[in-house]
């Protein structure tokens, strides 16, 4: 039933919020609007107080929890599977399957949000229904709900559904990594790698962490193994060899012997009516098994001989394990688990290897039995070599046990099978092995390592930008060279930061922060997208020094796209429209109202936050390369066309991210744009040239609306453009006396 446990795959739907919380936030919203109304023209001072009040609410909102009741679980596990009683200690449901007249646990079903509520980039944890087998193998994974922005009205949920289907058959004991798209086809290990999704790398890593963390919580609490050995590789030291005889190996406990006599079996089956099934005296041997872990050369070479041991290691492959079981008991005894009826290459039905309370998958290797080169003194008899794959999480340096099952029947018409197990434990010394620990650090360190080259290039990019902007009398003062530099930098922003690096900052991140504060108070989801986080850090630092303009004017990919589109206006002979001052002031308030609506909707858990966030065209134009349904493409394209007539109209009037940066930019400590006494009176050149309308008639710079294009800085440092300097130079020429030549 691999990958087919769940009969259907539902599309995610947002989880409704309690009415009481909606009412409380609605009251807060009304209070915020009252503050703004009373503030008159000081909206940028009133909004920070409003948002601070909103933040106080976040701490008292309830955390998200699972939403499936028994009926919903039964719908996902239809007959012949049976849903048992919910566990008293953990929020898990045992899923039972009838086997040989009795019910056995087929899987444990649980919701990831109950055990590992890791916020995604929508701010709330994805909720996944996971079916985990008793041996730690994923039966299936299904998406219940999610708010990952890249999938909502973007790529669609189908790629996400296909992504989680890859986990069926993988083991929670392995450190599963998210690779690049088609990583498996390119040679990545299929038992430890799942194919990622282009344009959704960070979201899939959050999903992966949610699946593994919740599964390991169940494994620790229910299955008997924990996170400590996940990804751990234990190898026998290949050069550690000591010639030993079989009695020596038995004396050290490196080869174990499991002997079951008639008396042992009679005691085990006492009270079942099958005690007398064995023939012969009480001390007669039913089964006599020798058990040995072969990877360690001191054991394997001594038992098999050098040539056969080398051949076995080559056939076994790296990091897999081999266990030999040899039967020295009666060959024709029905209880002999490796007798004549043993099927080569099969999983032995009466032998099992267990560790930590779990059965470890082991299969006969079907190696050549003749001329095996067994050690002198090893008893003759049928034998098998069981292969344990590395994905099983087997640790030979820790105690493990071989278990033999003996089955007897009672009754002749409706016979009943009764089973009893006998086991022997092996504990090998740790100095026979090397333990290769998984890479240190939590799962979010993976994208930082994977994207190290991109981060290095981004760091160089920012390192180039800062001194150019800081040294105003350098490159900035040369209009021709600075214009070329700016266009080249914006091209890198659009191509590298945006379309290649997928590091377009968005209001979606703030929505995620609000929802994370509401649900889990866990903000580690930010760490799964390193380039965006670095840009956020830089943009926030720049707010303190320069204000909003550093990001909006230099590092926003969609802003760069608008500037390149605006260059088409001149050859197309499109003249910019001047928005009347009164209308301009009114339109600038729209982005603040939109910002407040988005954050309030996010705080109450409303899906309206996702809808309002679509006011940003970033997902369509940058993240998805305009490959999206036509309404979104038409909207993004319409904003670019609007940009031909109203320069960066979206940025100035609609961008909620720009509104948030403008508010945070109130902490700016520098008035870094140089001004002269003549600025505003009488000179209006900078005001006229400012395409953003960020310079008042008085000459004052409105830093909340400044996009740091540096045009005014270039003008004020250019003696050929700055009107006061031009006039001063003319006056100087008029007052300088001319030399008189006397004949």
Q: Could you tell me the strand order of the sheet in which 416-426 lies?
A: 358-360, 351-355, 400-410, 416-426
First CA to last CA distance, the chain: 115
Cα 228 to Cα 112, 206, 303, 432, 534, distances in angstroms? 20, 20, 33, 20, 31
- pLDDT computed for residue 565 by the predictor: 93
The answer to whether 389 touches 395, Cβ cutoff 8 Å, is no
3-class secondary-structure state, position 407: strand
- Dihedral of alpha carbons 326, 328, 329, 331, sign: positive
State the Cα–Cα distance between residues 167 and 173, nearest whole angstrom: 12
Q: How many Å apart are CA 197 and CA 155, to the nearest integer?
A: 10
DSSP state of 360: E
Question: Rounded to whole angstroms, what are the CA distances from 573 to 564, 565, 569, 639?
Answer: 15, 13, 6, 19
Is pLDDT of 737 > 80? no
pLDDT-derived band at 173 (thresholds 50, 70, 90) equals: confident
pLDDT in tens, 107-152: 999 998 888 887 777 767 888 999 999 888 899 999 988 888 888 7
> Residues 677-701: what's their mean pLDDT?
86
In whole angstroms, give the CA distance from residue 132 to residue 139. 6
pLDDT grade for 711, boundaries at 50, 70 and 90: confident
Q: Give the three-state DSSP class for 17.
A: coil
Q: Is the pLDDT of residue 27 over 70?
A: no
Question: How many residues appear in the chain?
Answer: 743
3-state secondary structure of 695: strand
Mean pLDDT of 197-212: 83
pLDDT at 40: 40
For the chain, percent of residues with pLDDT exceeding 90: 22
Average pLDDT for residues 559-566, to the nearest whole number? Answer: 93
Instruction: Report whether pLDDT(39) > 70.
Output: no
- Residue 209 carries which DSSP code? H
State the pLDDT at residue 357.
67
Contacts of 240 (CB under 8 A, 6+ apart): 296, 297, 298, 431, 432
**Percent of the chain scored above 70 by pLDDT?**
80
pLDDT value at position 373?
A: 46
> For residue 684, what pLDDT is reported?
86
Distance (Å, rounded) from C-alpha 510 to C-alpha 516?
Answer: 10
Most confident range, picked from 183-192, 378-387, 475-484, 565-574: 565-574
Cβ neighbourhood burial of 418 (10 Å; 0-12, 13-18, 19+):
middle
CB 661 within 8 A of CB 543: yes
The pair of structure tokens assigned to 238 is: 């290949």
- Predicted TM-score of the model (pTM): 0.59
Alpha-carbon dihedral of residues 597, 599, 603, 607, nearest 10 degrees?
60
When mean pLDDT is compared across 126-140, 285-299, 662-676, the lowest value belongs to 662-676
Mean pLDDT of 531-555: 91
Neighbour tally for 225: CB within 10 Å: 21
What does the pLDDT look like over 406-431, one tens digit per residue?
887 777 666 677 778 899 999 999 89
Mean pLDDT of the chain: 80
Omega within 30 of 0 (cis) for the link into 682 = yes
**Residue 576, CA distances (Å) to 455, 493, 572, 579 in order:** 38, 25, 12, 9
SS3 readout for 74-131: HHHCCCCCEECCCCCCCCEEEEEEEECCEEEEEEEEEEHHHHCCCCCCCCCCCEEEEE
Pairing of strands 193-194, 177-178: parallel
């Amino acid at each position: 039933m691999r990958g087919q446990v769940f009969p259907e795959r539902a599309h995610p739907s947002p989880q409704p919020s309690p009415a009481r919380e909606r009412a409380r936030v609605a009251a807060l919203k009304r209070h915020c609007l009252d503050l703004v109304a009373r503030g008159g023209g000081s909206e940028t001072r009133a909004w920070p107080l409003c948002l601070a009040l909103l933040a106080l609410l976040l701490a008292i909102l309830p955390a998200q929890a699972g939403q499936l009741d028994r009926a919903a679980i039964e719908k996902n596990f239809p007959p012949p599977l049976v849903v048992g009683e919910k566990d008293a200690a953990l929020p898990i449901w045992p899923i039972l399957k009838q086997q040989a007249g009795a019910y056995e646990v087929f899987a444990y079903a649980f919701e990831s949000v109950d055990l590992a509520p890791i916020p995604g980039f929508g701010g709330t944890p994805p909720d996944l229904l996971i079916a985990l087998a008793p041996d730690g193998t994923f039966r299936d994974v299904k998406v219940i709900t999610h708010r990952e922005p890249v999938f909502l009205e973007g790529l669609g949920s189908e790629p996400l559904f296909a992504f989680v289907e890859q986990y069926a058959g993988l083991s929670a004991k392995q450190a599963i990594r998210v690779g690049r798209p088609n990583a498996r086809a390119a040679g990545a290990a299929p038992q430890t790698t799942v194919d990622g999704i282009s344009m959704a790398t960070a979201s899939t890593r959050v999903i992966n962490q949610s699946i593994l963390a919740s599964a390991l919580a169940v494994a620790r609490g229910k299955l008997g193994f924990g996170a400590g050995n996940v990804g751990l590789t234990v190898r026998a030291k290949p050069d550690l060899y000591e010639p030993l005889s079989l009695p020596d190996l038995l004396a050290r406990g490196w080869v174990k012997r499991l002997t079951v006599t008639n008396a042992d079996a009679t005691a085990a089956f006492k009270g079942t009516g099958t005690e007398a099934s064995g023939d012969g005296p009480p001390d007669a041997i039913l089964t006599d098994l020798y058990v040995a872990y072969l990877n360690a050369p001191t054991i394997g070479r001594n038992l098999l001989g050098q040539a056969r041991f080398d051949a076995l290691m080559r056939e076994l492959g790296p990091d897999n394990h081999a266990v030999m079981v040899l039967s020295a008991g009666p060959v024709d005894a029905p209880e002999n688990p490796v007798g004549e009826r043993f099927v080569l290459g099969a999983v032995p039905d009466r032998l099992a290897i267990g560790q930590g309370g779990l059965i470890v998958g082991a299969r006969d290797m079907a190696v050549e039995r003749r001329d095996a080169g067994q050690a002198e003194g090893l008893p003759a008899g049928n034998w098998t070599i069981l292969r344990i794959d590395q994905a099983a999480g087997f640790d030979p340096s820790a105690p493990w046990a071989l278990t033999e099952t003996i089955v007897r029947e009672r009754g002749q018409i409706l016979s009943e099978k009764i089973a009893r197990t006998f086991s022997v434990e092996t504990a090998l010394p740790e100095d026979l092995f090397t333990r290769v620990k998984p890479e240190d650090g939590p799962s979010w360190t993976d994208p930082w390592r994977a994207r190290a080259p991109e981060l290095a290039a981004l760091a160089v990019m920012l390192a180039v930008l800062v001194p150019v902007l800081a040294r105003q009398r350098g490159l900035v003062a040369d209009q021709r060279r600075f214009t070329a530099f700016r266009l080249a930098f914006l091209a890198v922003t659009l191509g590298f930061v945006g379309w290649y690096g997928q590091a377009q900052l968005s209001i979606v991140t703030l929505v995620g922060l609000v929802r994370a504060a509401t649900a889990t108070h866990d903000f580690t989801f930010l760490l799964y997208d390193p380039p965006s986080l670095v840009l956020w850090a830089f943009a926030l630092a720049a707010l303190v020094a320069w204000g909003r303009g550093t990001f909006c004017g230099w590092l926003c990919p969609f802003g760069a796209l608008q500037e390149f589109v605006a260059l088409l206006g001149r050859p197309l002979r499109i003249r910019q429209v001047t928005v009347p001052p009164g209308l301009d002031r009114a339109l600038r308030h729209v982005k603040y109202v939109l910002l407040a609506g988005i954050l309030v909707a996010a705080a109450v858990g409303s899906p309206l936050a996702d809808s309002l966030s679509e006011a940003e065209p970033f997902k369509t134009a940058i993240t998805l390369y305009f490959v999206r349904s036509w309404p979104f493409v038409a909207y993004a394209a319409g904003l670019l066309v609007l940009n031909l007539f109203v320069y960066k109209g979206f940025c100035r009037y609609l961008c909620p991210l720009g509104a948030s940066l403008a508010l945070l930019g109130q902490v700016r400590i520098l008035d870094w744009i140089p001004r002269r006494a003549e600025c505003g009176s009488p000179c209006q050149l900078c005001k006229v040239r400012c395409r953003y309308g960020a310079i008042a008639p008085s000459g004052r710079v409105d830093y909340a609306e400044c996009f740091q294009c540096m045009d005014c800085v270039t003008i004020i440092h250019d003696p050929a453009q700055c009107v006061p300097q031009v006039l001063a130079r003319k006056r100087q020429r008029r007052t300088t006396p001319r030399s008189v030549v006397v004949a």
